[in-house]
């Protein structure tokens, strides 16, 4: 949609919020009806809740057309990664707003009103939103790492197919500069890059692999530091530096 249409944008956001709230409200009503023995009414509330979900989805698609997936089969790996990265970014932003702004403000207002139960609930939700945001950040971090893993696997398969079809095996090049030398986990193929480090694990950018504490572990599979080996990349050109091997 045209995001310059500010009024329509606000209306869509309000409509999405309203339909989303109706979904959860009707599911609550359905649970109450089931407990009271009104199974037919419980079914009615559940069906209506499902319809409200579809309405909310329709509004959200207009708000975020970049997330609409009509045919996943025609999307490239890069396009899929871009979409899911956007989902994670929105999730992180939403949860961060909740625990840094919304719930603390709500809790403060409840404390002013001397409504201790409400204040306690808001503070509890703030902590849970913080946990959710951290979970999404970890997922985004791992997703980024997994993206490089899949690229590595794809390169290996491509090279193997070329050799199988009679082509010449590529050379593998080892970067011997500790500041840029990458290491790969032999268990899951996660690649450690000293340029970016592993901030989520307390490893600052610019940290050479040798300088990582021995108790550090792979953020993907949990393997120990000893499981890693020096990363070798394929090259079809004769390099003028570094260590070279002939390999698949």
pLDDT (tens digit, 9 = 90+) per residue, 197-232? 988 788 999 999 999 999 998 887 788 999 999 988
Count of alpha carbons within 13 angstroms of residue 197, beta-carbon side: 13
241: pLDDT confidence band, cut at 50, 70 and 90?
very low
Could you please report the per-residue DSSP string of 150-166? HHHHHHHHHHHHHHHTT
Residue percentage of the chain with pLDDT more than 70: 83
Q: Does residue 78 contact residue 86 with C-beta atoms inside 8 Å?
A: no
54: pLDDT confidence band, cut at 50, 70 and 90?
very high
194: pLDDT confidence band, cut at 50, 70 and 90?
very high
CA distance 15 to 12: 5
Q: Give the pLDDT of residue 209.
A: 95
Q: Which of 19-33, 95-109, 145-159, 179-193 has the highest mean pLDDT?
A: 19-33
Q: Which of 14-18, 127-131, 200-204 has the highest mean pLDDT?
A: 14-18
Whether pLDDT at 243 is above 70: no
CA distance 16 to 103: 20
Count of alpha carbons within 13 angstroms of residue 245, beta-carbon side: 9
138: pLDDT confidence band, cut at 50, 70 and 90?
confident
Whether pLDDT at 247 is above 50: no
- For 35-71, b/e burial (b = at least 16 CB within 10 A) is eeeeeeebeebbebbeebbebbeebbbeeeeeeeeee
Whether pLDDT at 101 is above 90: no
Residue with tokens 């899911």: 84
67: pLDDT confidence band, cut at 50, 70 and 90?
very high
């Amino acid at each position: 949609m045209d995001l310059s249409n500010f009024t329509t944008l606000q209306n869509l956001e309000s409509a999405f919020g309203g339909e989303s709230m109706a979904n959860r409200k009707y599911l609550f009503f359905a649970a109450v009806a089931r407990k009271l023995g009104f199974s037919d009414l419980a079914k009615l509330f559940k069906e209506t809740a499902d319809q409200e979900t579809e309405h909310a989805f329709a509004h959200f698609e207009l708000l975020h057309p970049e997330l609409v997936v009509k045919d996943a089969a025609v999307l490239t790996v890069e396009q899929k990664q871009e979409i899911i990265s956007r989902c994670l970014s929105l999730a992180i932003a939403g949860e961060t707003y909740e625990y840094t702004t919304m719930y603390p403000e709500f809790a403060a207002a409840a404390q002013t009103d001397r409504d201790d139960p409400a204040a306690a609930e808001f503070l509890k939700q703030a902590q849970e939103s913080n946990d959710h945001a951290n979970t999404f950040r970890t997922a985004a971090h791992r997703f980024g790492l997994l993206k490089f893993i899949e690229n590595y696997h794809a390169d290996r398969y491509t090279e193997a197919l070329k050799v199988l079809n009679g082509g010449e095996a590529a050379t593998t090049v080892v970067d011997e500069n500790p500041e840029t030398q990458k290491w790969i986990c032999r268990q899951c193929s996660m690649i450690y890059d000293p340029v970016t480090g592993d901030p989520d694990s307390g490893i600052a950018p610019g940290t050479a692999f040798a300088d990582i504490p021995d108790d550090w572990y792979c953020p993907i599979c949990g393997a120990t530091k000893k499981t890693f080996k020096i990363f070798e990349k394929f090259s079809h050109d004769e390099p003028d530096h570094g260590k070279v091997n002939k390999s698949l």
